A and B are shown apart, each in its own frame.
Chain A
Amino acid sequence: MGYIELEVLDDQPKRVVIGIDLGTTNSLPAIWKDGRPEILEVEGEPALIPSVVHVKDDGTAIVGRSARARALEEPASTVHSVKRFMGRSLSDVDDEVLRRLPYRVTQTERGLVQVEVRGKTFTPQELSALVLREVANQASAAMNGAEIVSAVITVPAYFDDAQRQATRDAARLAGIEVLRIINEPTAASLAYGLDQRKEGTVAVYDFGGGTFDVSILSIEEGVFQVLSTNGDTSLGGDDLDAALVDLLKRELAEDVDAAVFDDPAFRQAARLAAEKAKVALSSDPHADLAISLPEHGVNVRRRVTREEFESLIERPVEQTLECCRRALADAGLRPDQIDEVVLVGGSTRVPYVRAQVEAFFCRAPHTGLNPDEVVALGAAAQAEVLMGGSRDILLMDVTPLSLGLETMGGAAEKLIQRNSRIPCSVTEGFTTYADGQTAIDFHVLQGEREMAVDCRSLGRFKLTGIPPMAAGMARVGVRFHLDADGILTVTAKEESTGVTASIEVKPSHGLSEDEVEEMLEASIANARRDFDERRRVDLIAEVGTMLRHARANLDVAKERLDRESLEDLQEAIAAADAAQSSTDLEEVEAARDVLDRATMPLATVLMDSVVKEAVAGKKLGDV
């Protein structure tokens, strides 16, 4: 009883905040439970969602594992790695990355990346929102249907304002409130409790499926500062698999026509065989690369030793160390000045990778946690802080890039310096340069370069409604506020008259407020369509069951029903049969109702006979 009373008295139930690792390849939710972060599980398996969206020919989307399964057969309508395009212009994206994409990428009028599938265009935010929605659904399933409304989401340390804003917009489209965006390396460090260190430096080595990132952080009593980041956006665990696939191809080259290598079935089988061998080689001294596709005349089993595998992957691993070297140089540190090394990403399970990282930093890396889960776990630890559970963790982040405005001469004037602690605000005064001027244009920039053209354009805004006065008389205070997530807002006020000037910000790489609103509406409309679609599918299944039942008892009906009822039933069966292939929800619904009514007399007859059979030969009391 006590429990129930507590429930009733607690009129503000504790909100559930989850941590989400929104990855390039996979996404994963975690939550704080019983004093520690925990990966959410569905049916005993981590609720890992491949960050893949497949658009079906009817325009509906599927997300996750089932979407990834279509990637080889329908590459053009299966979108992966959309994180690479968040908040980016097409011109920002590496040509090499674009060339490797199996799906079509174009640009919007403003030059932003959009993905084109089956003649429809999607922004990266919309696609990311679909992934996030699926993550939230799985998380909800893992928590007995609890509604997920709030989350901490992780992003790479090098994400700029536009990329962070795009991530936030994606969450909004997915119906999730982002309470905090934190850096992935910071999250990984939190998962290992490194924030408790008095001071020190941390290298976070993140070797994921398709990308490699290294971040050098400094920690000083809970203050995390990103000193430098480096990486390679086209280097990942896939390259380790590819080394083994290439070995397989060399093995087969003499016996098999090269065209086979391009066959989706072969590519899929080879990739799986390589992955399996790679995983086995992490624990065994040798493994078999085995692939059998009789219809292609392929049947091979090749033993690979760990030494051989290591020689095959030497090059990609050396490339990651080269990135580490550059990151250290930028941070002004030597490898032996790193106090802690944290491993993130499945590829760091490969013993050779671990050994190389250890040799490079002269230090054994942390390996106690699952490298695929460590970022999500850290996000959950931060979520606990936000839920008011703990004040032990205090993340004091800094902004990685300076923020400023373009001046008259085209130079970049920095208002907020890089490495400033966030949140922070700066107010700068501006005035007019012409008599009677009522508006001023501003160009907001992010970056370290001296000239505006070399910096990243965050957006332009126009200050209007300045009362007309002599040049130089107006005193306009423009306030930059960078919040704890590193996202900028700008406000302005004409100070001599107290008139609040209106600001219209046009983000250069993100979505405007109107666009987000529009998409939200569209996604609600979509949700309605999705809902109708599901209802239609369910109804068709129900009609199918009813039809089978009715047909099975048609003989009884012919024998026992009156003529009119029988005709009704036969008509209803024919109509329901036709409705099974209908795409119109209402039509299916109507057919189901007609069939339901028409089977009523039959049901009565059947019930009667069942009862009669049951009571036949028995005394009433025994029934």
Chain B
Amino acid sequence: MIQTDGALDPFTILGLEDSMEVDPADLKKRLRRFTRLVHPDFYALEGTENLALAEENNALLNEAYDILSDDIRRADWLVRHLGGPSEKDLGGMPQEFLMEVMEWNEVLEEAEAGSQALRTLEDELCAHRDRVTREIRTSLTPLPEHGAPALESTRKNINAYRYIDRAMQRIAGIPYTL
């Protein structure tokens, strides 16, 4: 599977300047304001062409909102937009992280659902997730120059965040899969 990237620029769509800092309340307000302009309900009787266009525009708007309202998706988009590596280009995680990942994987494989070991792991993952999120945020504030080498470490942090997220989902999911 390969990623394709449309011409979608979520910041432009929502009328914002590129930035890692986004005010969630303002974003929501913008979403509602723009949805009132493009929602297909308001084009139901305007002919199939206009209706299809409204569907299209609203879908773009929703995707833009989804990207901007999620810290990690926003960071991911900014890194690629600034000419940094995508997940496919650079799949690794920060060096200091790798040892811990191996330990965590072991616990995930062996620990029983609801066990103390899993609860400890969950707390630990939570703390790491917060730290990684902070680092991603800081590295993109203010936005680095186009093609800056620092974008590589941001990418690795994003990968780390995604690993933690998957691991936590697995912990939450264990009672159901057994």
Q: Which of A's residues lie within 8 Å of B, judged by CB?
A: 15, 17, 179-180, 220-223, 382, 385-388, 391, 394-396, 407, 413, 420-431, 450, 475, 477, 481, 483-484, 495
In the complex, chain A residues whose CB is within 8 Å of the CB of B4: 427-429, 475, 477, 495
Whether B3 is near chain A, meaning CB under 8 Å from some CB there, is yes
Contact partner of B44 among A223, A386, A394, A413, CB < 8 A? A386
Q: Could you tell me if A425 and B56 are in contact, using CB atoms closer than 8 angstroms?
A: yes
Q: Could you tell me if B41 and A429 are in contact, using CB atoms closer than 8 angstroms?
A: no
Contact partner of A429 among B3, B42, B56, B59, CB < 8 A? B3
Complex-state Cα separation, A501 to B35, whole angstroms: 32
In the complex, chain A residues whose CB is within 8 Å of the CB of B56: 425
Complex-state Cα separation, A423 to B32, whole angstroms: 14
Q: Could you tell me if A221 and B32 are in contact, using CB atoms closer than 8 angstroms?
A: yes
In the complex, chain A residues whose CB is within 8 Å of the CB of B153: none
Q: Could you tell me if A179 and B44 are in contact, using CB atoms closer than 8 angstroms?
A: yes
In the complex, chain A residues whose CB is within 8 Å of the CB of B65: 421
Beta-carbon nearest neighbor of A179 in chain B: B44
Task: Please list 24 pairs of residues, one from A and one from B, whose beta carbons are closer than 8 Å in the complex, sorted by A's number.
Answer: A220-B28, A221-B32, A223-B32, A385-B41, A386-B41, A387-B44, A387-B45, A388-B42, A394-B32, A394-B36, A396-B39, A407-B1, A421-B62, A421-B66, A422-B62, A424-B66, A425-B59, A426-B63, A427-B4, A428-B1, A428-B4, A430-B2, A483-B55, A484-B55
Whether B175 is near chain A, meaning CB under 8 Å from some CB there, is no
In the complex, chain B residues whose CB is within 8 Å of the CB of A395: 41
A301 CB → nearest B CB, Å: 55
In the complex, chain B residues whose CB is within 8 Å of the CB of A428: 1, 3-4
A595 CB → nearest B CB, Å: 51
Q: Could you tell me if B41 and A423 are in contact, using CB atoms closer than 8 angstroms?
A: no
Whether B60 is near chain A, meaning CB under 8 Å from some CB there, is yes
Decide yes or no: A475 and B2 within 8 Å by CB, A388-B42, A388-B45, A484-B39 being known contacts. yes
Whether B15 is near chain A, meaning CB under 8 Å from some CB there, is no
Tell me the interface secondary structure of chain B in the complex. Answer: helix
B51 CB → nearest A CB, Å: 9
Contact with A along B1-45 (1 / 0, CB 8 A): 111101000000000000000000000100010011001111011
Beta-carbon nearest neighbor of B40 in chain A: A484
Beta-carbon nearest neighbor of A428 in chain B: B1
Complex-state Cα separation, A393 to B177, whole angstroms: 41
In the complex, chain A residues whose CB is within 8 Å of the CB of B55: 423, 481, 483-484
Q: Could you tell me if A424 and B45 are in contact, using CB atoms closer than 8 angstroms?
A: no
Complex-state Cα separation, A475 to B41, whole angstroms: 34
Complex-state Cα separation, A214 to B40, whole angstroms: 28
In the complex, chain B residues whose CB is within 8 Å of the CB of A426: 63
Complex-state Cα separation, A420 to B69, whole angstroms: 12
Contact partner of B42 among A221, A385, A450, CB < 8 A? A385
Complex-state Cα separation, A421 to B59, whole angstroms: 8
In the complex, chain A residues whose CB is within 8 Å of the CB of B3: 428-429
Complex-state Cα separation, A477 to B109, whole angstroms: 36
Q: Could you tell me if A396 and B35 are in contact, using CB atoms closer than 8 angstroms?
A: yes
Complex-state Cα separation, A391 to B33, whole angstroms: 12
CB-based closest 5 A-B pairs: A429-B4, A386-B44, A425-B59, A429-B2, A421-B62
Contact partner of A180 among B1, B35, B41, B59, CB < 8 A? B41
Whether B58 is near chain A, meaning CB under 8 Å from some CB there, is yes
Contact partner of B45 among A386, A423, A483, A495, CB < 8 A? A386
B158 CB → nearest A CB, Å: 18
In the complex, chain A residues whose CB is within 8 Å of the CB of B42: 385, 388, 391
Complex-state Cα separation, A484 to B54, whole angstroms: 10
Complex-state Cα separation, A426 to B8, whole angstroms: 11
A502 CB → nearest B CB, Å: 19
Complex-state Cα separation, A425 to B6, whole angstroms: 11
Contact partner of B36 among A386, A391, A413, CB < 8 A? A391
Complex-state Cα separation, A477 to B6, whole angstroms: 10
Interface residues of B in 58-91 (CB under 8 A from A): 58-60, 62-63, 65-66
Q: Could you tell me if B32 and A222 are in contact, using CB atoms closer than 8 angstroms?
A: yes
Beta-carbon nearest neighbor of B176 in chain A: A449
In the complex, chain B residues whose CB is within 8 Å of the CB of A427: 4, 6
Complex-state Cα separation, A427 to B44, whole angstroms: 25
Q: Could you tell me if B2 and A424 are in contact, using CB atoms closer than 8 angstroms?
A: no
Q: Could you tell me if A394 and B39 are in contact, using CB atoms closer than 8 angstroms?
A: yes
In the complex, chain A residues whose CB is within 8 Å of the CB of B63: 424-426
Q: Could you tell me if B2 and A423 are in contact, using CB atoms closer than 8 angstroms?
A: no
Complex-state Cα separation, A569 to B62, whole angstroms: 78
A445 CB → nearest B CB, Å: 15
Complex-state Cα separation, A425 to B54, whole angstroms: 12
In the complex, chain B residues whose CB is within 8 Å of the CB of A484: 39-41, 55, 58
Beta-carbon nearest neighbor of A482 in chain B: B59
In the complex, chain A residues whose CB is within 8 Å of the CB of B173: 450
B71 CB → nearest A CB, Å: 16
A37 CB → nearest B CB, Å: 16
Complex-state Cα separation, A426 to B59, whole angstroms: 9
Beta-carbon nearest neighbor of A417 in chain B: B66
Q: Could you tell me if B2 and A394 are in contact, using CB atoms closer than 8 angstroms?
A: no
Decide yes or no: A430 and B1 within 8 Å by CB, A425-B59, A425-B60 being known contacts. yes
A183 CB → nearest B CB, Å: 14
In the complex, chain A residues whose CB is within 8 Å of the CB of B32: 221-223, 394
In the complex, chain A residues whose CB is within 8 Å of the CB of B40: 423, 483-484
In the complex, chain B residues whose CB is within 8 Å of the CB of A450: 173, 177
Apart from A385-B41, A387-B45, A481-B55, 15 more pairs, CB < 8 Å: A382-B41, A387-B44, A388-B42, A394-B36, A407-B1, A421-B62, A423-B59, A424-B66, A425-B56, A427-B4, A427-B6, A431-B1, A431-B2, A475-B2, A484-B58
- Which of A180, A396, A495 has the most B CB atoms < 10 Å from its CB? A396
In the complex, chain B residues whose CB is within 8 Å of the CB of A382: 41
Interface residues of B in 103-135 (CB under 8 A from A): none
Beta-carbon nearest neighbor of A422 in chain B: B62
Complex-state Cα separation, A220 to B177, whole angstroms: 34
- Which of B4, B44, B55, B56 has the most A CB atoms < 10 Å from its CB? B44
Q: Could you tell me if B44 and A180 are in contact, using CB atoms closer than 8 angstroms?
A: yes
